[in-house]
Amino acid sequence: MEEMTHYPVASIKENGEKNENFTFVSIDNIILDPGMEFMGRQKCHKILLEKKVKTLNNGVETQLYKWDKVEKDFQEKKELDPVKLKKFKGTSYYTVLDGRHRCMLSFFNEYTHIPANIFEYAFCF
């Protein structure tokens, strides 16, 4: 069994609350939206191909503009908040509600897992 790797998690959220009740989700269970897929093709295409990452074509492509800032945070091993995920249609997969850059940089850095808060509904945060 391979070792679980992920970015460091902050004990206190950016809003000052404690980071608690999060779990670690396999990076293989994250579904990329069109914006994430676009950035993935530019930054870590080979990794995504090897992992056979699932994509979601919802017709909405929101660009990822903070890549450089979040990449710097990853390089400096800065403690970050968990991402916010929503279960995808009763499957073992998840869509990203918040934290698309952290997910993509986790792929880029070849982490096996991502710290996450799981939400049942998209409007829970």
The pLDDT tens digits for 106-118 are 988 999 999 999 9
The DSSP output letter for 112 is S
Cα distance between residue 51 and residue 98, in whole Å: 22
Q: Which residue has the higher pLDDT, 19 or 120?
A: 19
Q: By three-state DSSP, how is residue 10 classified? A: coil
Domain count, the chain: 1
Does the residue 87 lie in any domain?
yes
The DSSP output letter for 89 is T
> Does the structure show a pLDDT above 90 at 9?
yes
Q: Does residue 71 contact residue 78 with C-beta atoms inside 8 Å?
A: no
Does the residue 95 lie in any domain?
yes
What is the domain range of residue 113? 23-119
What CATH number is given to the structural domain containing 102? 3.90.1530.10
Does the residue 11 lie in any domain?
no
Q: What is the pTM of this model?
A: 0.78
Does the residue 38 lie in any domain?
yes
Does the residue 56 lie in any domain?
yes
Confidence of residue 73 (pLDDT cuts 50, 70, 90): very high
pLDDT in tens, 14-41: 888 899 889 999 999 998 887 777 777 7
Q: Does residue 25 contact residue 9 with C-beta atoms inside 8 Å?
A: no
Q: Does residue 97 contact residue 89 with C-beta atoms inside 8 Å?
A: no
What pLDDT is recorded for position 125? 44
CA angle centred on 13, ends 10 and 18, rounded to 5°? 90
Q: Which residue has the higher pLDDT, 7 or 17?
A: 7
Does the residue 17 lie in any domain?
no
Does the residue 7 lie in any domain?
no
The DSSP output letter for 29 is G
Cα distance between residue 125 and residue 22, in whole Å: 14
What pLDDT is recorded for position 97? 92
